[in-house]
Structure 1
Amino acid sequence: MPCSAAEPRPARGPAEDEGSAVVEFVALGTLLLVPVVYFVLTVAQVQAGAFAVVAAAHQGSQVLAGAEPGELAAADLTAAAQLAAADQGFGPEQLAVRLECSDGACTSPGAVATVHTTLEVPLPLVPGFTDMEVAVLTSSATVVPGRYG
């Protein structure tokens, strides 16, 4: 028997899938967005650390270049390096500064002095795990202080 257009079709129950595409899109979007945002924050933290460690070494070497021959205050050198790191949001406990001289006196004319800085970059937004670093960054700057002294 042929089917006529007048015959009623069986009633469909409530559609169970209506509206779930939006929910799935929002849920999956959030699940994918959170790790991507955290990755971007981590990369930004490492980049800020790179800026900080280079600036700290440079500022430390500038303190050496401006020091009078025979007068070197290691505290001034460390304070300048820590201030440069603080500009990028890193504390003094995260920065290590080491001075290396070609001869015993770093500020004598013709001496070669190198400032080495090391910075530990922590994971962003994880305050409880202070021993977990993303990266340990190092930089050095060499200066010949008092060249014409």
Structure 2
Amino acid sequence: MPRLRFSSEALRDDERGSAALEFIVGGVVLLVPIVYLIVALGTIQSHALGVESASRHVARAVSLAEGTRDADARAAAVLDSIVREYDLDPDTIEVDVSCVGESAACPGPGETVRVTVAASVPLPLVPPVLGLQDAARIGVESSAVQKVSRYWRDG
């Protein structure tokens, strides 16, 4: 039975150049989803920080206001500023102001006010086809609590 002999040089010639091709293909296949994940998580984190900042600052603005009109004006100004700063979509933001206690007047002097801000984050690179842009949204929400000034007066 004859024996086959392979020289190591012949085997090396067959493999020449395939490592670079495998590295490029493997790198692209792994790199694209990782980059997309990083961009998507960064967008979600940015909106989460914006919503958290909005709830905290609106609660503080309401609690330090002198009355209902002043509280509404301050809350609107703070919310507009945060929407611009964090590049939030103003159409998706929902703000809920409620009181923790069982008082008839909310907010009232000495009450504890809770501000909840919710928004939805669009995922990047989702085309506006067949309603995909609405289905590919992540909801973020934050609540903040502040004690209302005892010098609060309605009006």
Equivalent residue number for residue 16 of structure 2: 18
Question: AA paired with 1:139?
Answer: S
> After the TM superposition, which parts of structure 1 deviate over 4 Å for at least 4 consecutive aligned residues?
none
**In the alignment, is the contact (CA less than 8 A) between 1:71 and 1:107 conserved in 2?**
no
Equivalent residue number for residue 81 of structure 2: 83
**Cα gap change, 1:145/1:113 in structure 2, threshold over 3 Å: closer, same or farther?**
same
SS where residue 148 of structure 2 aligns?
A: coil
Q: Highest CA radius of gyration, 1 or 2?
A: 1
**Within 5 Å, which residues of 2 pair with 1:24-103?**
24-74=22-72, 76-101=74-99, 102=101, 103=103
**Cα gap change, 1:125/1:49 in structure 2, threshold over 3 Å: closer, same or farther?**
same
Equivalent residue number for residue 118 of structure 1: 118
**In the alignment, is the contact (CA less than 8 A) between 2:93 and 2:119 conserved in 1?**
yes
Q: Deviations over 1:4-45 (max 9, x none)?
A: xxxxx9xx7xx5643232122111101110001111111111
Structure 2 Cα separation of the partners of residues 100 and 61 of structure 1: 10
SS where residue 140 of structure 1 aligns?
A: strand
Q: Deviations over 1:34-69 (max 9, x none)?
A: 001111111111211221111010111122022113
What are the ranges of 5 or more consecutive residues in structure 2 without an aligned counterpart? 1-6
Question: AA paired with 2:134?
Answer: D
Equivalent residue number for residue 143 of structure 1: 146
Share of identical aligned residues, percent?
Answer: 31
What are the ranges of 5 or more consecutive residues in structure 1 without an aligned counterpart? 1-8
CA shift, 1:85, in A, is 3.6
The structure where helix makes up a greater share of residues is 2
CA shift, 1:139, in A, is 0.9
Aligned-residue CA RMSD (Å) = 2.5
TM-score, normalised with respect to structure 2:
0.74
TM-score, normalised with respect to structure 1:
0.76
Structure 2 Cα separation of the partners of residues 91 and 108 of structure 1: 31
**Cα gap change, 1:72/1:113 in structure 2, threshold over 3 Å: closer, same or farther?**
farther
